[in-house]
Amino acid sequence: MKGTIPDPGSQKLNWHKPPLTVLVIKKMHDENALSAFTQLVKWLIQEKNMAVYVEKAVFDDAMCSENPVCRGLQKQIKTFEEEKDELTNKIDFVICLGGDGTLLYASSLFQASMPPVMAFNMGSLGFLTPFSFQDFKGQVTQVLEGNAGLLLRYRLKCVICRKDSQMSKIPHVKQIQRSHSTIQSKTHMLVFNEVVVDRGQSPYLCNIDLYVEGKLVTTVQGDGLIISTPTGSTAYAVAAGASMVHPNVPAIVITPICPHSLSFRPVVVPAGVEIKIMVSPEARNSAWVSLDGRNRQEIFEGDSVRITTAQYPVPSVCAKDQMDDWFESLAECLHWNVRKPQKPMPTLIDSPSTNSLTGNSDSSS
């Protein structure tokens, strides 16, 4: 039997039709991001004839409302409100101006299929934002013409099932649909980086049971557990000791947070398996769940957090390619393997003393 090894270089941006609508996500309360935002939006409208969508909160911000250029653009822009307006079938292309958190927020707006996203670095770290804004016109034009590589970043599907609910009786989390009438938006989410289960403000250890494909594999006693995507492996997970996994690897990373055991190491499981987390019957307290650092909520005995790989990834536009972008981020943002170079061995120089020791003296006796 011969397997097929995927070629990372084969993932290219391919527009089925010319992009006509663009969503611009801007870092809030930042002067540099605001200046870039006004330049970009004005150029997209006037030069590229694109319909631009922007979150209403951007214009409610005092920094924007006091800017005459920003106020002038407001009449030419379509606005939306989070959790009120559905964007899935309206947007062809997404541009982010900010840091990694801006990209995480953009991902949360698309709880199904997401259009390609181009991220400009205007934040603190910029691990996920490979583009510089200096040459934004040339770079955006290249992307709009389809001349760019693409990285499909896996997301996690996370469903929080309450005790004795109908969802808890469904055999596999893959079979739970968002359109289910009993599902609330905060209990069914697509997650970009990680799902974190922790002890919250309790002074006691977190005591939670970990199931993989329905089998109890271990009980976690410690501060909590991180279930992350390969992209999320370089976020909270790496700070807790996980390996850094390239975003193109189909996997889920399971990382304990300060486990009360010297042998509990992070593990990597195949993408697509179901991971279920429940508060152990022997636990002294409840636990808390957060999804990409948001939607924090408490879970109790009998509740379950069910996780698998989502069928809708985030198509991230590459500045160079999948490998160069990732390794450059490791080196520049995390200073991966940075140390002073080792000095070479010193070169031995012939001298009379060394010659005499080796019996090569020219002196006569």
State the catalytic residues.
Answer: 100
Which residue's entry shows tokens 């993408």? 271
Which residue's entry shows tokens 């190491």? 265
Cβ 103 vs Cβ 35: under 8 Å: no
Q: How far is 273 from 276, CA to CA, in rounded Å? A: 10
Amino acid residing at 173: V
Q: Which of 99, 192, 195, 153 is nearest to 314 (CA)?
A: 153
Q: How far is 194 from 254, CA to CA, in rounded Å? A: 10
Cβ 36 vs Cβ 137: under 8 Å: no
Strands (E), the chain: 21-26, 51-55, 78-80, 93-98, 117-121, 150-153, 156-161, 188-191, 194-198, 206-212, 215-222, 224-228, 251-257, 267-270, 275-279, 287-291, 294-299, 304-309, 314-317
